[in-house]
Amino acid sequence: MKSASYHLNLLTEAEKLSSSPIRLRVMMPILALLAIAGIAIWWGTLTTQLMMLRAKTTDVQNELASKKSAHDEIVGSMTLANEEAAQLQQLEFYRGGCLKWGETFAALAEVLPVRMQLVRLDMPEPPPQILHDPKNPKRPPLLGPTNDTESVSIVMTGRAARDTTIVTFMESLEGAQFTNRIGNVAVKSVQQEPHPQKQSEARLLAFELECRAVDRRFAK
Amino acid sequence: MKLQLTKTKTIDLSFGGGGGKHASADLTGVELFGDDSRGVPAVRIAYRKSAWHLLAADFITAPQGELPLKWEDVSHRSSWELPTAFQAPHAALAVNSRQVLFAQATEETILQDMARGIPTNGPSAIDSVKKRFAIKREPQKVQPEAPAATAAPKRLPAEGVPAATNGMRFVVRPLAEEDRHLEAALPEFQVLWLARLLPEGHRPTASSIQPAEAALMASVLAQPTLTEYGGNGLVMFMLPDRVFFAGYKAGLPVLWRRCPVKGGHVAMKAAVKKGLGLDDETVDSVMSDTLIDPRSALEPFLGPILNELDLSRAYLSGKHGMSISRVMLVGLPAGGRHVASLAHDAFKMDVFQPGVFDGLQQPPKGEIAGDCAFLPALGAALAASEVQW
């Protein structure tokens, strides 16, 4: 049976009332209003928090702006202090790298053979250090040194009557009083030269000795 | 509730409990403004486990107030609560009204009815039906006091969808026959008054308002005999003051006509009383007992009615090829066997009188006695359930 075919209902869907005590047509607007109110409160809270954050941000920005000059001054002072500390450190390094030759040269007179004359004592300049950064030439030059060590040598020029005298002198330089300063001694050149006063007499030997000294260590 | 999405697009929202598009399978049928002195017949039924269950049937207190007869009377806001046993989620109201219209009609006739509007000054549903099915058609009277009808609608409203025209609310269902429809109509103000008769938020609320005659037609849907014959059948409804014939084909309505011969079972009783010279008290016992045979007094009264019944049977046989072997007699409180006997003698028709609640599962706590007065209430509930079984 199809009872719907017999149902001549004069009531429209809009006129049907709910038998439920909970009336959706009442509850729905109330729930909608409550939801809207909740959302409004939520948005209000968010807006208040946002405004507070913005005000706080403005205050912090103002405070930062007011302290910027002082901060820059402090940063400049710190940079300057760092630079000066670096300079002091470099000076300390130079101080640490200082070699004292006084006692060594005083001992030279004691070991110098009788028939030998030292006419010249040279300490060649070390190779110049590269203080400019090749990758950034506009950068100010470094205060140096750029290497931890620097090799030092001494060139001794003199005259001797015999070659054995030179050898004796070289052996003397290996003595205990020179070990702290002079390491390796090598003959750079030896040549005969006439006696300045007695040309018939035996000739003198002009020599050059290159003494390799201990390296300068730039450290505290 | 309509929710407007854009200027041109809206969607319909319907919430449960408010009736909705799907009818309930637990509902109470009530016949309102009938002439039964015992009260308002109410029936509560429920469709469970593929069967209809009768939960309660009783006469209850009538609502306060009368059905308004004009717009000015609608101001009273009625509030009517049903007893606990009948507090189903929804109620189907079967309404008796002088201004109700329920008939089988062609599209043209329905459009004429829709153009006519409210029958304010007397043309009741009875007259309307009479005009349509009487042998002699009466000329239509001009109603000077009637409100001016607007232009006639050009087409019928959609099937089962109420449409308001000229102060009347119309609804149309097609019959299982070409260009034949069942039409029902009630004044708009009466529908509005009835719609708010049962208060919102309390069980039940009205989910259906039907003319009592339409509900009567649906009252036999649960009858096992109708189911047994595949939904084919012929039913004679004998009411107190009139008789209707209803034809059913494969479970669908195919015929609804009022017997042009005046009289119902009240007139039938009066005929017996007059023919046998009895008083009121003894007529009832004569109709029920077997000691006295009242057929001689009944025959002059029932003969023309049975003739019309035979005509209806012939119509169903000739037009629809239905072979009607048994005819249900519904609505007659007493004397059914005499009618059956006369029908058998005159037309070899097997007329039988089923129980009002046949086909319904009775409540386990006690069987409810059937009474013909419950038929419209039962039919209203069965039709409004819109359950297919």
- DSSP annotation of B351 reads E
Residue contact A18–B18, C-beta within 8 A: yes
Contact B261, B304 (CB under 8 A): yes
Highest CATH level, class, for B224-353 = alpha beta
Mean of per-residue pLDDT scores for chain B: 84
Nearest beta carbon to residue B15 from set A11, A19, A24: A24
Q: How far is B140 from chain A (nearest CA, A)?
A: 26
Q: What is the reported pLDDT for A91?
A: 85
Which residues of chain A make contact with B198, given a CB cutoff of 8 A? 17
Contact B166, B114 (CB under 8 A): yes
- Dihedral of CA B303/B307/B313/B314: which sign? positive
User: pLDDT > 70: what percent of chain B?
Assistant: 84
Q: What is the reported pLDDT for A200?
A: 65
* Long-range CB contacts for residues B121-124, cutoff 8 Å, separation at least 24: B121/B145, B121/B146, B124/B98, B124/B99, B124/B100
Closest to B91 (Cα-Cα) out of B31, B134, B39? B31
Q: In angstroms, rounded to a whole number, what is the distance separating the alpha carbons of residues B119 and B122?
A: 6
Sequence-distant (6+) residues with CB within 8 A of B63 are: B32, B40, B78, B80, B197
Residue with tokens 């077997």: B290
Nearest beta carbon to residue B253 from set A6, A20, A21: A6
Nearest beta carbon to residue B382 from set A3, A13, A22: A3
Mean pLDDT by 10-residue block, N- to C-terminus, for chain A (220 residues)? 90 87 83 97 97 97 94 94 89 86 89 91 83 78 74 91 91 89 91 74 85 87
Sequence-distant (6+) residues with CB within 8 A of B108 are: none
Residue contact A17–B389, C-beta within 8 A: no
Q: Which tens digit of pLDDT belongs to each residue from A43-92?
A: 999 999 999 999 999 999 999 999 999 999 999 999 999 989 988 888 88
**Out of A126-140, B158-172, B204-218, B228-242, which region has the weakest mean confidence (pLDDT)?**
A126-140
Residue contact A18–B200, C-beta within 8 A: yes
Which residues of chain B make contact with A17, given a CB cutoff of 8 A? 18-19, 195-196, 198-200, 205-206
Q: Which tens digit of pLDDT belongs to each residue from B333-357?
A: 888 889 999 999 999 999 999 999 9
Nearest beta carbon to residue A7 from set B204, B226, B386: B386
Nearest beta carbon to residue A10 from set B162, B196, B201: B162
Q: Give the pLDDT mean for B231-260.
A: 93
Chain A residue set in contact with B, beta carbons under 8 Å: 1-13, 15-25, 28
Q: What is the reported pLDDT for B275?
A: 86
Q: Which tens digit of pLDDT belongs to each residue from B147-183?
A: 555 566 778 889 999 999 888 999 999 998 888 999 9
Domain with CATH 3.30.420.40 in chain B: 224-353
Nearest beta carbon to residue B204 from set A2, A19, A23: A19
Continuous segment of H or E residues that includes residue A165: helix A163-172
Query: Of B226, B227, B386, which to mutate for an interface test with A (greatest number of A Cβ within 10 Å)?
Result: B386
Inform me whether the pLDDT recorded for B229 exceeds 60. yes
Alpha-carbon distances of B94 from A49, A136, B123, B219, B259, rounded to whole Å:
63, 104, 20, 11, 21
Q: What is the reported pLDDT for A76?
A: 94
Residue contact A3–B102, C-beta within 8 A: no
Q: How far is B259 from chain A (nearest CA, A)?
A: 20
The pLDDT-based confidence of B144 (bands split at 50, 70, 90) is very low
Residue with tokens 């205060």: A143
Q: In angstroms, rounded to a whole number, what is the distance separating the alpha carbons of residues B42 and B85?
A: 10
Q: Which tens digit of pLDDT belongs to each residue from B6-34?
A: 666 666 555 444 444 445 689 999 999 99
Q: How far is A14 from chain B (nearest CA, A)?
A: 7
Nearest Cα residue in chain A from B230: A1
Which residues of chain A make contact with B192, given a CB cutoff of 8 A? 15
